[in-house]
Structures are given as C-alpha cells and as structure tokens.
Structure 1
Amino acid sequence: MANEIKKSLLVTLDFPPNNVGGVATFYYNVCKNLPPDKIVVLAPDHPDANNFDQKQHFTIIRKKLLNQFPQKMPAGLGGIIKIAATVRWLSLIKNLNEIVKTHQIKLIQVGQVLPIGTLALVLKKRLKIPYIFYAHGLDILLPQKFMRKKTILKNIIKESSGIVANSHFTKDELLKLGANNGQVTVVYPGANIKNHHVADSEIAALIKKHQLENKKILLTVGRLVERKGHDVVIKSLPAIIKKIPNITYLIVGDGPRKTQLVNLVHQLRLGHYVQFVDRVANSILPAYYQLADVFIMPSRRINGYDVEGFGIVFIEANLFGKPVIGGRSGGVGEAIVDGQTGILVNPTSEEEVSRSVIKLLTDPALAERLGLQGMERALRDFDWQTQTKKIKDLLS
C-alpha cells in the first residue's frame, strides 16, 4: 500500500492570476493534480484573486507577501521601508504559524528558495515542520553572486527534506551547492497548452492578420529578454533570406528587450521579414504553433547565471509536430533531443543558426520526421499527471 500524501502548504510569490509565467503555471498545474484536501496555497493578493480562487477545488489563502513593497521608493523612505519589511517578516511568520495549525499542515512546499526558504527554515526550527523547495535555474544561480545569500542558500539546501529541480542541469547545480543526489528529484514542466486541433478558420485568420500567404514561418515564443537569443535569429536572417526569400520571423511575447530588438530590425532593414506580436493568451497560442514551419529559440547563458533551466516552449512546439532549434546551454539539451526532435546550435553563432534554419526549411522530410518524433515524445513524457506523480511520491 502506497504511503499517504502529507497535507502540505505551498508558499509562493508566483501564482495565478498575479502571474501567468512559467513558474506560476508550473505551481498551478502541480496543485491541480494533487488531491484537493492535501494542498493549501499561500500566495500574494491580487484584484482578480477572488474570482480566480472560487473556481479552484483546492484552498488558496491570499496575503501580502514579501515582494509586495514598492520597487522604487521616494528619497528618505529607505529606513521606514526596512522597518516595515521587518514587521512584514514577523507578521508573515505569525500568519504561517496560524495556517499550519488551522489546516493541520505536515509539510511546507517552498516556491522561491529565496526569500521563502528562509521562512521555511524558521518554521522547521520552531514547529518541527519539514519543507521541500523547487529550483528552476536562475533562482539558485543568481544568489551565488553574493556571499551572504549563497550561505543562506546552502543552509536551506542542507535542511530541506527534498528538492524538486526542473532539469538535470539544475540538479547538477544543486549538487555543486552541497545537495545530496538522493535529495533532488527532477520534475520536468508539463506542457501549458494542449495539442488540440486548430480550426482551419483560425489559421486563415492569422495568415490574413499577419499577411503570411505563401510564407515560410519561423516562430519564437517567450519573453523578450537577452538570454532567449532573438537578436541572434534576427542577425542570421540576411543569410537565410538569400536561400529562402519568402521567410517571415514571428516574435510572440513582450519584455524589456523589445525596443532594442525593434531597433535592430530597422538597422538591418528587415522590417519586411520580422513581425512582433504582443503576448497572446494560451487559447490563441496553439494557432501560432500550428502556423509555424520551424520553432526557434537559441537561448544562451548571460553573466554566468542567467540561463534557461529547461525550456517548455520547445515541448509545446513539438506537441504540434514542429521541429525545433534551441541553444546548446542550460537545460535546453533536455527539452530537445538533438537530431531526433530538433537541432541544438551554438547560441552565439549566427552561421549555425542560419544553417540549421535553412536545413529544416529546405528538407521537408527531415522537418516532418523531427516534428513527429518530438510530438510522440511530448505526448508520452511531458503531461502533468506523469510529472506530478514524482511530486506525490516526494510528499508521501
């Protein structure tokens, strides 16, 4: 007989509807796949939270958490804010004590190793409540730049009852910080969209909207940040255009690098070949994947710590039978099986990027084979039920 799942409290700064990014979606899907009477979530308050929370089968408690101070403060308020932060910490610890006792919590799930992991350490000492935490890559790499944070991180790792890593890459980084091999469980993200049939009318509407008749479509979906490599794809386009003059590069997403990327497109006179599409809802995203001929995101490591921990978008593109091209860095090599579901490239090499795009767009049989193999793997290995089973085992 399997061990019963312990009732746990997930404390996280990222949870819908506050945030619908990869981390928030990951935690939401984990909670949806746990028995509703075995999970309670503590997440930041949000104007739309009540409407969202009422639709869920599990309990969600909303409080102002540690990240909900102003990002920019008027001069002279720094000391007041520091005092307020201390009060907030003490208040949050008190709230956690009450939640643990009221809901008979047996284990804490830590959504952010810093700062939430520090609270879990306190609770473990005070109430003898064990905790596990999740690691996604950047969250354990960035603190290592600062001696104090690195020391705290190592203590959190040492005292944890288990760690969930989003890839073997992330697991290896944890081992370097002192984690034990048996302490870390790799749980890949499940796909955030379904590979449902996309109606011909939806595709036709996108083709008309973006003027894509008789075009070969190159697609990237993701935040416009430096590590994603949009700039490398843009710089590789002139070489691609020489071989495939009817190509269009669709960039779906928003973020801080948009202005720089738009300027780069203008500098290279590629306005006719590149289109920026604001972030789209998950309900519309399948049509963009279906429309694409090749998905590309040559992610690279920035400043030693900013890296792609996994790359669920590659799995999502594979779900629609699309071949993918990704940067050989971080955990991307686990999302893409090189030569089987897509192609891994040197993420800083415009020549490798252009050569790989041309190869897939001029060899339909190869593109179809990689896409179909990717679809089979995505359906087999990356559904939420399969991945969440590993977390259930950890919570038992």
Structure 2
Amino acid sequence: MVNTKTSYVFVFLEIFAGEGGIQSYVKDIWRAYLALPDSELAQVFLLRDKPIGDNPFESKNLKFHYFKSLHPMLGRMKLSASLLACLWRQRPAHVFCGHINLAPLVRTICQRFDIPYTILTYGKEVWEPLPQPYQRALRCAAGIWTISRYSSSRLCYSNGIDRQQVKLLPCCVDGDAFTPGPKPPALVERYDLEGAKVLMTVARLWSGDIYKGVDVTIRALSAIAKVFPNVKYLVIGRGDDRPRLAQLAQDLGVGDRVIFAGFVPTEDLVEHYRVADAYIMPSQEGFGIVYLEAMACGVPVLSGDADGSADPLQDGRLGWRVPHRDPEAVAAACIEILKGDDQRCDSQWLRQESLAHFGRDALVQQLKELLAKTRTEGLEKSKVKSQKSKENRG
C-alpha cells in the first residue's frame, strides 16, 4: 500500500551538488530511513540542488523537491512557499531542519502551524555563539540532533542550550564497502610505495581547513623516519592549500616522502585505505567518518584528542588520540602504530569493534529509536496543550 499522508518533512541546503562529510552523513540517514520496516512518507526539500535523473533515494517513502536557482534569494523564496504549502495541506507530524542556516526559516513556518521541528547539527557551524535568530530557533526546537558528544557540548556551551534537548545520531560506515585486504599492487606502483611504511590522510586541502593536521603530520615525518627510514605519507584530497603543504614538505627536507594523490572517488577509497599502514589525521572534527572507514578496512588510526573523534575512537580504546597541533606527539604515536605491538593494530579486532557501534545496522536502530521518541514526545506535548486549552475554555 502506497503512503499518501506525509508524516515527516526534511529540509536541507544541498546534498547532491557538493561533496563532504555532511553530504555523506545525510545520505546514510536516508538509507537508514528507507531500511526501517515501518518508514512513512517523507518529503525532502533541497535548497541548492537541482533535479537529478538517477537519485537512488527517490522512492515511495522519500519524495524530493529541488529549488536551485541562478538567484539564491529566488530559490529560497520558492522553497519557503513550497514548504508553507506542504505544511498547510499535509500537516506532517514533524519537520527536520537539516542545517542551522535554515533554522530561522523553519522555525517561522513551523510555528505558524504549530508543528514541532528538530534541527540537525554537525560540527563547527554551531561551535561558536550564533546570532540571536539562530539561537532562538535552537531553543524553540522540539529537539536537536548532533553527531558526537563533543559537538553537543560545544553547541550547548556556546549557545546556552539545555543538554537535555540534544540527542545523538552518530555517523556510520558501510562495512560491506570498506573491508580489509592486501595492498593493491597497482597503487603501490602508482605511488612508488614498494617496501614503504605508509601513513595516509583523506582530507580537503583548503586553506580554511588547516585544522585537518596535514601540515602537522608533515612536520612529524623527520622524527618518524629516524625509526622507520622507509616511511611515506600519502595525502588524498584537493584544494587551494596543496601548494603551501608541498612547499612545507620541501622546506623540511621530506618532499620525497609526501605523495599528493589528489581527489579520489569514494568508490576507489577502499583500495587506498588498504595501501596504508596507518591512517593519520590529528584534526578537530565534529566526528570524523574517515576514521570509521579506515578502521573498517582494518587500518589503525590516529586523531586529535579534543574533538568529536572521541566517539569513533571510543575514547582511545580503538586508536591513538594526541594533541592535534603537536608534531612530536604525532611522531611518537605514529612510531608506536608502525611497530604494530598494540591491540589497536589488530585488523580483525579493530574492524569488528568499530562496526559493532557504527555500522549501518547500528544507525538504522538508532534512527528508529529517535523517531519513535520524537513521535511519542510530540503526542505528549499535544495532549498537554489540548488539556490546557480545555482548562482555559472552562
């Protein structure tokens, strides 16, 4: 039987037009939603996306609406009008606002119809104090979902949000796509890695994203090479910061150890993880999906010690966490990893433990529980409001 009544509405900035952690995370949420045995009809509004002919998520329970325009304000006006019409006609049970930049708009429209809404947050976009319209939208929300304990803490501290209002919906990894395997000979040859101990990072190389720690790892290479003379560093990603990083490697005398691979499509990443002996990203992440991908491939990982990576690394139980701007700490941890004596280097154990908490099945269960809680809380609030209305009339 085909659903005709809209139960949920999702509103996002852009998912198909860009690449990045948020886009991957949202797609995982859609997969999890469609995997629910009792998923209901949901409408998805995408402000900056245009229609795509092969949308794999379009189905009887997910209907997509696109509002990309040459004039951004026009697109926003069209989305507002369509969202207003949808809420007026369908009266969905709940609206999910997929980015803080859309929160004031969603709050205004939802309050007109007394429909509860939840705001999805991810990382840095809510770590600092926000303008008052955005803080009001957060405080008026029925709930806030975020990806890690660290992001929750930063969000609440910076914007005066009650911690009880925030629920966790962590990232996940596809354990069928990311699997262990031998080093691919073709990649070993392509990057001249024969006999090398390979450190690897997957990151955008943007000048605004130096927190990813690629420069810190480059600074750590000389110390690592004293213990492992055959160490090399494979950097996957593109961006305007690459020339600075390449020059830094040359200036430090490690230019021959750093390989910039450029952009690698998602479908080819697993082969690149397999070529690595360690995944190194001393960063400041809201969560860090790449750590899950590496661990699912059985590759030991290193992260920063003051960010959302605490969740995928399970507070250091599954990997090394070090001060994110400290080359000496990065070097010492890399040397430990490359020696391979720690349980956190056990490929099979690492994969098993990471998937148990952050595999796709885990996300389906977590989403199911959150939606059930959202529905229950919404019904309770409606009963309270109805009772107050009766008392006022009495």
TM-score, scaled relative to structure 1: 0.83
- Secondary structure (helix, strand or coil) at the match of 2:52 reads helix
2:264 is the alignment partner of 1:277: no
Q: Which residue of 1 aligns with 2:389?
A: none
Q: Name the CA distance, whole Å, in 2 between partners of 1:6 and 1:168.
A: 32
Q: Which residue of 2 aligns with 1:290?
A: 274
2:252 is the alignment partner of 1:268: yes
Q: Which residue of 2 aligns with 1:188?
A: 170
**Shift in Å, 1:296:** 0.5
Structure 2: segments with no counterpart, 5+ residues? 376-394
Q: Which residue of 2 aligns with 1:51?
A: 53
Q: Which residue of 2 aligns with 1:255?
A: 239
- Paired AA for residue 119 in structure 1: L
> What fraction of aligned residue pairs are identical, expressed as a percent?
25
Q: Name the CA distance, whole Å, in 2 between partners of 1:162 and 1:365.
A: 44
Higher alpha-carbon deviation: 176-185 or 216-225? 176-185
Q: Which residue of 2 aligns with 1:220?
A: 201
Name the CA shift for 1:344/1:252 in 2 (closer, same or farther; >3 Å).
same
Which runs of 4 or more aligned residues in structure 1 lie more than 6 Å from their structure 2 counterparts after TM superposition?
none
Aligned residues: 358
- Paired AA for residue 158 in structure 1: R
- Secondary structure (helix, strand or coil) at the match of 1:132 reads strand
Q: Which residue of 1 aligns with 2:22?
A: 23
TM-score, scaled relative to structure 2: 0.83
Counterpart pick for 1:352 among 320, 329, 337: 329
The answer to whether the 8 A contact 1:162-1:185 is kept is yes
Q: Which residue of 2 aligns with 1:231?
A: 215
Q: Which residue of 1 aligns with 2:230?
A: 246
- Secondary structure (helix, strand or coil) at the match of 2:247 reads helix
- Secondary structure (helix, strand or coil) at the match of 2:314 reads coil
Q: Name the CA distance, whole Å, in 2 between partners of 1:158 and 1:338.
A: 29
**Shift in Å, 1:158:** 1.3
Q: Which residue of 2 aligns with 1:74?
A: none
Name the CA shift for 1:6/1:328 in 2 (closer, same or farther; >3 Å).
farther
**Shift in Å, 1:138:** 0.8
Q: Name the CA distance, whole Å, in 2 between partners of 1:45 and 1:156.
A: 21
Alignment of 1:69-218 (within 5 A): 69=71, 85=73, 89-102=76-89, 104-114=91-101, 116-142=102-128, 144=129, 149-176=130-157, 177-191=159-173, 194-197=176-179, 203-218=184-199
- What are the Cα deviations for residues 104-163 of structure 1, in whole angstroms up to 9, with x where unaligned? 53321111112x101111112212221101111211124x2xxxx431222111110111
Structure 1: segments with no counterpart, 5+ residues? 71-84, 301-307
Counterpart pick for 1:40 among 19, 43, 65: 43
Q: Which residue of 2 aligns with 1:320?
A: 297
The answer to whether the 8 A contact 1:157-1:178 is kept is no
Q: Name the CA distance, whole Å, in 2 between partners of 1:153 and 1:184.
A: 16
Name the CA shift for 1:180/1:370 in 2 (closer, same or farther; >3 Å).
farther
The answer to whether the 8 A contact 2:278-2:301 is kept is yes
Q: Name the CA distance, whole Å, in 1 between partners of 2:109 and 2:251.
A: 55
Q: Name the CA distance, whole Å, in 2 between partners of 1:236 and 1:14.
A: 37
Name the CA shift for 1:98/1:185 in 2 (closer, same or farther; >3 Å).
same
**Shift in Å, 1:178:** 3.1
